[in-house]
């Protein structure tokens, strides 16, 4: 059993919802063919208190980093203005807009890859889409703001739904994440988001213990029962620091190990701070796992 749902019942739910296979997702002019290779999302933090130590406090610095990520092979750029550290304080809508909109406007039409906005706030997401974003990355999986789904449906953009346990810690983490993501998918579909425009994220580090984070990476393939592409974000996170006893800027090897294992377990997208190095991890992992690079 998976939470309240057996694998058979989840498969039946998926088919009833119109999702017989993962298929493709169109994002602006880009088409993602899930299963062909692992895609890389480069993190552009315009928050001065980012947990990873890479927060940028100027538009020029953020744009320069984004452009470098594209040259290094990033497939998506994820622009976020609010820190997601567990002890961070929320910022106002106005402050978040002040941070992210100028960056999106500068990159719009120049980045050559889709732009994503990392936000759970409706007004920020709407104005970010107006400024050039073509994807919404919601760390609360519609639990904080269900109307994000209607916005994604109206604009025809993909939405990433994360399973976040900061509001309600769970004991049996893998079934809890699957059930949580199923609820988020249902909310999105009921609001008119097409099946093909939904991406799921187990939410490594968001309300989980160290052991639970490791279990989620190890059991990532169990999320495939949901029928949607899986995004994995372990980059520089505290689980790596706790195991290796290293600060964020020295967690490259730990990120590489968790990324390679995640790809072996079915990750379709990896969200990373170190694009050049993780692109190499993806290419090598894909060559072994998917038979690429022949």
Four-residue CA torsion sign, 271, 276, 277, 278: positive
- The alpha carbon of residue 160 and the mean position of all alpha carbons in its chain are separated, in whole angstroms, by 6
194 CB burial (10 A radius; 0-12, 13-18, 19+): middle
Instruction: Judge whether 271 counts as a catalytic residue.
Output: yes
Q: Which residues contact 64 (CB under 8 A, 6 or more apart)?
A: none
| Residues making up the chain, counted from first to last | 294
Paired residues of 77 in beta bridges: 42, 115
Which is catalytic among the residues 228, 237, 251, 265?
A: 237
Cβ atoms of 148 and 189 closer than 8 Å = no
Q: What is the number of other CB atoms lying within 10 angstroms of the CB of residue 1?
A: 8
Instruction: Judge whether 236 counts as a catalytic residue.
Output: no
SS3 263: helix
Which is catalytic among the residues 37, 127, 236, 271?
A: 271
Report d(CA 120, CA 14) in Å as an integer. 25
- Active site members: 237, 271
């Amino acid at each position: 059993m998976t939470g309240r749902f057996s694998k058979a019942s989840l498969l039946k739910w998926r088919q009833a919802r119109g999702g017989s296979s993962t298929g493709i997702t169109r994002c602006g002019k880009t088409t993602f063919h899930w299963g062909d290779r692992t895609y890389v999302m480069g993190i552009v933090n315009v928050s001065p208190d980012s947990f990873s130590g890479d927060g940028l406090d100027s538009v020029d610095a953020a744009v320069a980093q984004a452009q470098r990520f594209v040259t290094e092979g990033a497939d998506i750029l994820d622009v976020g203005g609010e820190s997601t550290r567990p002890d961070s304080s929320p910022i106002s809508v106005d402050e978040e807009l002040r941070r992210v909109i100028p960056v999106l406007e500068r990159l719009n039409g120049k980045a050559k890859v889709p732009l994503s906005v990392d936000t759970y706030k409706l007004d920020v997401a709407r104005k970010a889409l107006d400024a050039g974003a073509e994807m919404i990355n919601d760390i609360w999986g519609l639990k904080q703001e269900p109307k994000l789904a209607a916005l994604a449906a109206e604009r025809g953009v993909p939405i990433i739904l994360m399973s976040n346990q900061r509001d309600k810690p769970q004991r049996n983490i893998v079934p809890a994440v699957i059930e949580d993501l199923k609820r988020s998918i249902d909310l999105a579909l009921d609001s008119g988001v097409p099946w093909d425009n939904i991406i799921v994220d187990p939410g490594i580090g968001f309300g989980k213990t160290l052991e639970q984070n490791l279990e989620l990476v190890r059991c990532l393939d169990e999320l495939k029962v949901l029928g949607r592409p899986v995004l994995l974000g372990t980059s520089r996170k505290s689980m790596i620091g706790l195991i290796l006893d290293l600060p964020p800027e020295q967690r490259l090897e730990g990120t590489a190990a968790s990324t390679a294992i995640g790809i072996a377990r079915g990750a379709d997208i990896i969200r990373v701070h170190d694009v050049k190095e993780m692109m190499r991890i993806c290419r090598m992992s894909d060559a072994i796992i998917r038979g690429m690079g022949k």
